[in-house]
Structure 1
Amino acid sequence: MRLPLMLLSLSLLVGCASWVSGALDARYGPAEPTRFDQARLAPPGVPSYQQHIKPILDGRCVVCHGCNDAPCQLDLSSWQGVARGMSKASVYGELRLDPAPLTRLGQDAQRASQWRGMGFEPVLNERLATPEQQLSASILWRSLVLKQQNPLPLGDVLPAKDFDFSLDRAHSCPRLDEYESYAARHAQAGMPYGLPGLNAAEQDTLRRWLLAGAPDDAPAPLPATLMAQIQAWERLLNGSSRKDRLVARYLYEHLYLGNLVFAGDAERHVFKLVRSSTPPGQPVQLIATRRPFDDPGLARPYYRLQQERRTVLAKTHMPYELSPARLARWQQWFWQTPYQVDSLPSYEPELASNPFKTFADLPVQSRYRFLLDDAGYFVANFIKGPVCRGQTALNVINDRFWVFFVDPDSAASEHAAQLLARQAEVLHMPAAEGSDASLLAWRAMAAADDALKAAKTQHMARLFGSGERKLDLSFVWDGDGHNPHAALTIFRHFDSATVEQGLLGDPPKTAWLIGYPLLERIFYLLVTGFDVYGNTAHQLQTRLSMDFLRMEGEANFLMLLPHAARLPLRDAWYRGSSEEVKGRVLGRQYQFEAEPGIAYPPQVDPQQHLYGLLNQRLAAVLRPERHQITPALEPDPKARRALQALAALRGSALQWLPEATVLRVDENPARADGGPGARYYSLLRNTAHLNVSTLFRERAMLVPEENTLTLLPGFVGAYPNALLRASPAQLPELLRAVEGLQSEADYRALADRFAIRRSHADFWAASDALMQAYQRHSPREAGVLDWSRLENR
């Protein structure tokens, strides 16, 4: 009986789909899925995509619709993304036994019709090209009209019954045949969702563009000087010797996520380093693989620079500058240093996922120098990249901590190279199992980590345990006296994080000391080896492995402290953890007994004393003036004192503040854009935890009475949760309001007084002014900020 029933069900489904298709054909005309396979150019009088349409989309749509976490996978950061459309499938939020299909814009399909075959629905009209159908058959247009017909209730907290802003909310993603009934049920679902609608001029510009068939512009030719630089770099990356090819593979696997820019390029064109089946001088034919170290499917891939035409997003922007000086350093480290490459490594997963095997022929000193040269970029890769939503991975780190690096002359010594060679066979990376991992392999990975740490501890004991050599401050890299990447501060904002140069804020609870082996392992765990489309077991393995690597970085820092201070401090960092967990930081086979060669006066806090010594050692590269509230920045003494007092707040009142707040200070806060004299500050809540080694019980680990604040000039964080504004004279009042927070009602009263809520009539004017100020303040790092985490409070 079952087979006939199944066949009947299948026939009913096919029949239903045919009926829907027929009804759409009758109403809108037959579908033409190839219409946007190639962009049509705008005729005279039609709004230009680059000059008129893209600025509107960037300012009103890309603030939520960019990257993998865009609702319905609708990425509006490029014409190609608009043409691709949307999907009901989600990259996030689902438990899955098997990897999800790859849907990376610009990689896994190149034409709109290919995306249709992968389940993506159009948001532009792909039916009859009459004026009526260009609008009525466009989901993009109808979602804008729905907002105009049902304007946002302005000025207050939006009703929860009508608006769901939770991170894991369900997305309906209605198709054209579903839109009328969807709009009738969800009148407040017009776009931009939960934000004010477009103004009349913006709406009309988009209308005229859609009526013309949503044309694109021809790509602007690159300047001749830039083309010459591209050709020079591509020649370097595509040499024919085994050394050339191995170095190029190493560079590609570390730079493929970066936004590469050229020194001296005033327009800041952005490029991606890609693998192509075609050599330099020919059009790029992209080789799209799940991971950068996967088999390219041909004997010789070429490494090419491909222009990135998508909007630069703050949450994914990782600039990496190509300059003559950097080229000279690469030449010195990888080409002028003598070494031999007898054969090229394969792309077998067990080998390719392990950089210590794959690149064993490259000098360790050269590899580490390359990573340190722009350490902030490589650490940012751990946090940004294509993931865009990282709470499961980020709950493995504290809300703010400092990062130092082992001096390359110590870490990359011949001893370290020998240790790496011996332990490469032991080291097992989760990516070796692919994206459909099994949690049954976890025990084997834990055992491999045990063996590696035991070997490392023995190695350190041989080097520094005899009394002839002491582990002292020279073990910590000082940036060679000029590199600001020698010290970094990492801020976690619940499900996102930010990396900043320097030692920002008050001394933190924890710090990491990272050497080459650890830096490379984290990179291959969280960047090259991580697959956001992988199954749940793969993602859990990645998170659990990062737990071990965090502990190793913390243990390295503890080794600089007196032996008697190490275990008490470790226990303070891991309150509530089991002895097994604490033993993975220091204890059992990981116990390092030797005393450091650092003088610790009696009756001082060793950790705070060490922080002070490290500040002195790195003084030449820290540049603290960039992060200070100076009279030049804030001339009013009372306002300056209020800001400094705000930054010094501690305790449970802070639990009611958002994780990341932008504070605008200007003389006339009633002005929508703040005026030319507006100053912007980032107000960051550092949420205290008993420990961060618990995977699923984070709320139980919170210690609100130990929360702190960090206040910094400028912009820190890609996802602002709130936008506050105050005049200098109002700052003491804001300070008192924050100090007095005891409930959600108290925060709502504060927001009533100071917040520009998402429902505020001035929201878009304030947003535009903020984005422009970000570009002025940080032209190298700035990108479009994301409003999808903006709170409704």
Structure 2
Amino acid sequence: MSRWMMLLCLFLVISGCAAYATQQLDFTYGKTSPENRVVAVSEKDAAFYNDKVRPILDTRCVSCHACYDAPCQLKLTSSAGIERGASASLVYDGTRLLSASPTRLYLDAKTTEAWREKGFHPVLNERGQSPAANLNGSLLYRSIALRQAQGAFTQPILSDDYDFSLAREQQCVSIEEIESFEEKYPNAGMPYGLPALSKDEYSVLTRWLAKGAKIPSEKSIPDALQQKVALWESRLNQDTLKGQLVSRYIYEHLYLYSLYLDDEEINDSESTSASDYRFKLVRSATPPGEPIDIIATRRPYDPPGVDTVYYRLWLDPEVKVQKNHIPMSLNEARFARWQAYFYTDDYEVTQAPGYAPEIATNPFKAFRDIPIHGRYRFLLDHSQNTIMAFIKGPVCRGQVAVNVINEQFWVYFVDPDVAYSQGSANYLEGTVQNLDLPAVTDSTLPLASWIMLSDQQKSYLSKKAQVIENLEKQNVALDLGLIWDGDGTNDNAALTIFRHFDNASVVKGMVGQAPKTAWVIDYPLLERIHYLLVAGFDVYGNVGHQLATRLYMDFLRMEGEMNFLLLLPNEDRESIRQFWYRDASQTIKDYIFSDYIRVNKQTDVVYSSQDTQAELYEKLRNKLAQVLNQEHDLASSKLSTSHIKALQELQSVRGGGLRHFPNVATVLITQQGTPLEVMSVIHNKAHANISSLLDEEAARLPEEDSLTLVKGVLGDYPNVLMRVEEKALMEWAEQVSTLNTAEDYAALLSRFGIRRTHPDFWFVSDSIANLNALDRPRESGILDYNRLENR
């Protein structure tokens, strides 16, 4: 029998079994329909869900089922996600030749019936409502029951039957296929590859599901808070062309943010704080005062399809997940700054830019009427969020964006008040008007796009070099006066970016050891980063779009590095850049060392040592000392001085067995068994260069690896959890510092690790979550466990 004939027979058998199972379920419980789930929810049912059920879903399920990378697209972050169900279609697919249809929760379908038409199948019973039907017909119940039947783990490392790779083949079965699935995959119950729910947790979910999985309506907004919503919506929907253009600019930069209206406590009957409510800025077809009708487009600058766009504050019903949470407070102080940035200058807007791709994809064209100084000030005001959006935004799985950056580097910004002078800034902006981004091109031809964009970037950098070389004529020195100091109060002036292979973290301050590279970002660069990796990136796009985005980000990284090198002596720049790009391809070197991006002007910074890069870092640290954020400094932890010293010394270790350490380890430190502190250990993986698109491993230099240890949770995707009693910290540090082999790392885990199989896994997980929330109440959220290792 031919291979194709065998596959056909197998397909007929499987489809026949599914059809038979459907007939049996229909005969026993009735035909499936979303309407069967329309049931009344009493106050008692609502309280049971909110007080008992929702906390279990949040702490045991959401860690794997959130954002675009949720297995089978099953998002358990809200009632709408639960009702939508699951789908076998992949969001992340780096090989697809054609763009996929978006399936964004709340945007691309607005009813359960519409999601069924898009191929999503239910995970709750949608047949006749009875306790038996609600359990037997529920994928959620069958999944947790399968895990309960499996029992406790009997070995520390799970067998190869478990597949935890991100690229694993997903088993997105419907309720009609569940029996054969249970027989074939008896270890696939939920939580997958983690300790089972406790008896009480299992009982609560079983009771809830048996009674029909009743989910109450989303909470309403208190009257006092609604007044603030109305105030902000009136500010964002002015009738003038200037007001409309400014609001469009604000929206295209903040649409991913979690916005809080929390100047003071909201005094309603339940004494609810405004900080309990998060909003998203959305485009709506309806004006303030009417129900929001969200305009769903692939990108925030795509044509809205309506004559008038209204910018509305939509209450976010999803639970807070740290990997995609970008918080911002909308308060009167911020609005006053926005007024200064956007409305104080006397400028006129005579025509709306429209939404034609050649305009909308290029912010320098679309928003040319808004003064550069105001736009740049707006982005600098919250620069951590501006940078963080490309990591926590549509690429929440990350590698398309982050495999183009180093493992750890510092970021500084050009001062908007002195850089280039206003005339030079206008000149550069006029040049960058013609610097298009990949979203404007045909994504089916990435190589042709890259050549066109490369030529444009070279032309821009060549003209930028001319401007820099003529700074003296404008009485501007090429020294630290060019670096923004946060105006003496804003701790967004210096940032640290850590890469964790396919995801990354952005934190304030100069965290960790002196990095190999650093960036200095000016306005044109900051704007292009946002429109390349956030506003212009389509997670449902084809391989050409993703490839063009990745290649273009190379240009932006090199530009940021070049800006930093300009502060170093002219004679040192090439040798340092050569070190950064050891073993890079000749094509990359030809670009990096070409005359297009060569600036011959000597720095005005005075140096007294041979290691000018290290000296520059210290000069920048001193300049920014007043605003450097220290929240991740181990010295601010509850640990003793001797323990802190031992941990800090661990950061001097290089190479050796560090290659076996995971990307991110989240460590719970206890005091006589009581949770005391959380520490994160970041593995900085060294590379000869990071210009390789396909073979990153070939550029690895494990002998140069290092660790960064910080207070608190740093990294949204821990690879391993550890627990260390405070009095054993010295021994833990010694064991880490002397790692040599994979067996050494296994021994470390055997003593301190909380593997997937550990009976205390959920206790440690909950303790870390509680300390994280206490440490960072606004920024913290549920961590993602999809990258937990099994070794």
TM, length-normalised to structure 1: 0.94
Task: Out of 40-49 and 270-279, give the one that drifted further.
Answer: 40-49
Contact in 2 for aligned 1:196/1:758 (Cα 8 Å): yes
Output the CA distance in 2 between the equivalents of 1:452 and 1:46. Answer: 59
Relative to 1, partners in 2 of residues 1:421 and 1:706: Cα closer, same or farther, differing over 3 Å?
closer
Q: What is the letter of the counterpart of residue 73 of structure 2?
A: Q
Give yes or no for contact 1:154–1:761 (8 Å, CA) kept in 2.
Answer: no
Separation (CA, whole Å) in 1 of partners of 2:209 and 2:483? 58
The Cα offsets for residues 712-763 of structure 1, whole Å up to 9 and x where unpaired, read as 1111000111111222332222122212222221111110011111111111
Out of 550, 554, 562, the position equivalent to 1:547 is 554
Aligned mate of 2:646, from 639, 642, 652: 642
Match of 2:736 in 1: 738
Deviation at 1:262, TM superposition (A): 1.7
- 1:782 — aligned with what? 780
Q: Which residue of 1 aligns with 2:50?
A: 50
Aligned residues: 774
- Range moving further from structure 2, 116-125 or 741-750: 741-750
CA distance in 2, matches of 1:344, 1:495: 39
In structure 2, give the amino acid aligned to 1:77.
Answer: T
Where in structure 2 are the equivalents of 1:187-202 lying within 5 Å? 187-202=186-201
Q: Is the 8 A contact 1:46 1:209 kept in 2?
A: no
Contact 1:144–1:190 under 8 Å retained in 2 = yes
CA shift, 1:100, in A, is 1.1
2:325 aligned with 1:317, yes or no? yes
* Alpha-carbon distance in 1 for matches of 2:12, 2:157: 45
Q: Is the 8 A contact 1:163 1:194 kept in 2?
A: yes
> Could you tell me how far apart the structure 1 residues matched to 2:598 and 2:394 are?
37
**Partner AA of 2:140 in structure 1:** L
Measure, in 1, the Cα distance between the counterparts of 2:35 and 2:405.
46
Equivalent position of 1:751 in the other structure: 749
**Range moving further from structure 2, 13-22 or 273-282:** 13-22
For residue 336 of structure 1, give the secondary structure of its aligned residue in structure 2.
coil
Q: In the superposition, relative to structure 1, how do residues 651 and 204 fare at CA in structure 2: closer, same or farther (>3 Å)? A: same
Do the aligned partners of 2:404 and 2:553 also contact (CA within 8 Å) in 1?
yes
Please give the alpha-carbon distance, in whole angstroms, between the structure 2 residues aligned to 1:190 and 1:434.
Answer: 43
1:441 aligns with 2:449: yes
The separation in 2 between residues aligned to 1:39 and 1:76, in whole angstroms, is 20
1:553-611 CA distance string (max 9 Å, x none): 0000000110000000000000001343234334322110011111112x421101111
User: Could you tell me which amino acid in structure 2 is paired with residue 25 of structure 1?
Assistant: D
Contact 2:438-2:545 at 8 Å conserved across structures: yes
Task: Tell me the amino acid that sits aligned with residue 513 of structure 1.
Answer: V
Structure 1 residue 19 displacement after superposition: 5.8
Contact 2:484/2:493, CA 8 A, preserved across alignment: yes
Give the alignment of 1:260-409 within 5 angstroms.
260-264=259-263, 266=273, 267-409=275-417
Counterpart in the other structure of 1:628: 633
Q: Residue 428 in 1 paired to residue 430 in 2?
A: no
The answer to whether the 8 Å contact 1:659/1:684 transfers is yes
Cα contact 1:489–1:502 (8 A) shared by 2: yes
**Cα separation, 2, equivalents of 1:41 and 1:355:** 48
Deviation at 1:420, TM superposition (A): 4.0
Give SS of 1:521's match: helix
The equivalent position to 1:567 in structure 2, one of 559, 574, 592, is: 574
- Corresponding residue for residue 692 of structure 1: 690
Deviation at 1:123, TM superposition (A): 0.3
Cα separation, partners in 2 of 1:544 and 1:53, compared to 1, 3 Å: same
2:270 is matched with none
Instruction: Name the stretch that deviates more: 421-430 or 278-287.
Output: 421-430
AA partner of residue 647 (structure 2): L
- Which of 576, 582, 585 is equivalent to 2:592? 585
- CA offsets, 1:180-212, max 9 Å, x none? 111111111000000011111111111121122
Selected match of 1:614 from 614, 617, 620: 620
Identical columns (%): 44
How far apart are the structure 2 equivalents of 1:398 and 1:333? 33
Q: Which residue of 529, 534, 537 corresponds with 1:527? A: 534
Q: Aligned partners of 1:579, 1:39: CA distance in 2, in Å?
A: 66
Q: Which residue of 1 aligns with 2:101?
A: 101
C-alpha distance in 2 between matches for 1:437 and 1:22: 48
> In the alignment, is residue 65 of structure 1 matched against residue 65 of structure 2?
yes
SS at match of 1:556: helix
Q: Which amino acid aligns with 1:558?
A: L
Q: Give the Cα–Cα distance (whole angstroms) in 2 for the partners of residues 412 and 118 of structure 1.
A: 52
Question: Of residues 486, 505, 523 in structure 1, which corresponds to 2:512?
Answer: 505
| Deviations, residues 662-714 of structure 1 (Å, cap 9, x unaligned) | 1222223xx4xxx15x1111111110000011111110111111111111111
Question: Secondary structure of 1:630's partner?
Answer: helix
Question: Could you tell me whether the CA contact under 8 Å between 2:46 and 2:215 is conserved in 1?
Answer: no
Determine whether 1:29 maps to 2:36: no
Shift in Å at residue 111 of structure 1? 1.1
Following superposition, the deviation at residue 468 of structure 1 comes to: 5.6
Q: Classify the secondary structure of the residue corresponding to 1:620.
A: coil
Question: Quick one: structure 1 residues 470 and 638, their matched pair in 2 at CA, closer, same or farther if it must change by over 3 Å?
Answer: closer
Structure 1 residues 631 and 558, CA, compared in 2 at 3 Å: closer, same or farther?
closer
**Equivalents in 1 of 2:201, 2:493: separation in Å?**
46
- Paired with 1:298 and 1:463, the residues of 2 have a C-alpha distance of 47
Change in Cα spacing, 1:12 to 1:754, as seen in structure 2 (3 Å) is closer
* Alpha-carbon distance in 1 for matches of 2:40, 2:471: 67
**Which position in structure 2 is the counterpart of 1:124?**
124
- Amino acid of the residue matched to residue 785 of structure 1? L
The answer for unaligned runs of 5 or more in structure 1 is: none
Q: Does 1:458 align with 2:466?
A: yes
CA–CA distance in structure 2, aligned partners of residues 185 and 222 of structure 1: 47
Shift of 1:48: 2.8
* Alignment partner of 1:232 is 2:231: yes
Relative to structure 1, the CA distance from residue 91 to residue 248 in structure 2 (aligned partners, 3 Å threshold; closer, same or farther) is: same
CA distance in 1, matches of 2:584, 2:259: 42
The residue type equivalent to 1:628 in the other structure is D
8 Å contact from structure 1 (residues 368, 412) kept in 2:
no
> Aligned partners of 2:532, 2:135: CA distance in 1, in Å?
46
TM-superposed deviation, 1:28: 3.4
Match of 2:348, as an amino acid? Q
Unaligned runs of 5+ in 2: 266-272
Comparing 252-261 with 264-273, greater Cα deviation is found at 264-273
2:665 is equivalent to residue 661 of structure 1: yes
Secondary structure of residue in 2 paired with 1:143: helix
The answer for the alignment partner of 2:268 in structure 1 is none
Aligned residue identity for 2:56: I
Code of the residue aligned with 1:86 in structure 2: it is A
Aligned residue for 1:478? 485
Q: What SS is found at the alignment partner of 1:260?
A: strand
CA deviation after TM superposition for structure 1 residue 423, in Å = 2.0
Cα 1:590–1:364 change in 2 (3 A) is same
The equivalent of 1:91 in structure 2 is 91
**For 1:235-246, what aligned pairs fall within 5 Å after superposition?**
235-246=234-245
Shift in Å, 1:549: 0.2
Maintained 8 Å contact 1:470/1:595: no
How far does residue 304 in structure 1 lie from its aligned partner after superposition? 0.1
The equivalent of 1:595 in structure 2 is 602
Alpha-carbon distance change, 438 to 42 in structure 1, aligned in 2, over 3 angstroms? farther
Distance 1:14 1:182 in 2: 11
Counterpart-to-counterpart distance in 2, 1:474 and 1:125: 65
User: Superposition RMSD on alpha carbons, in Å?
Assistant: 2.2
- Match for 1:441: what amino acid? S
Residue 259 of structure 1 deviates from its aligned partner by 0.5
The residue number in structure 1 matching 2:703 is 705
Q: 2:678, 2:711 within 8 Å by CA — same for their partners in 1?
A: yes
Distance (Å, rounded) in 2 between the aligned partners of 1:256 and 1:684: 30
Distance 1:417 1:604, change over 3 A: closer
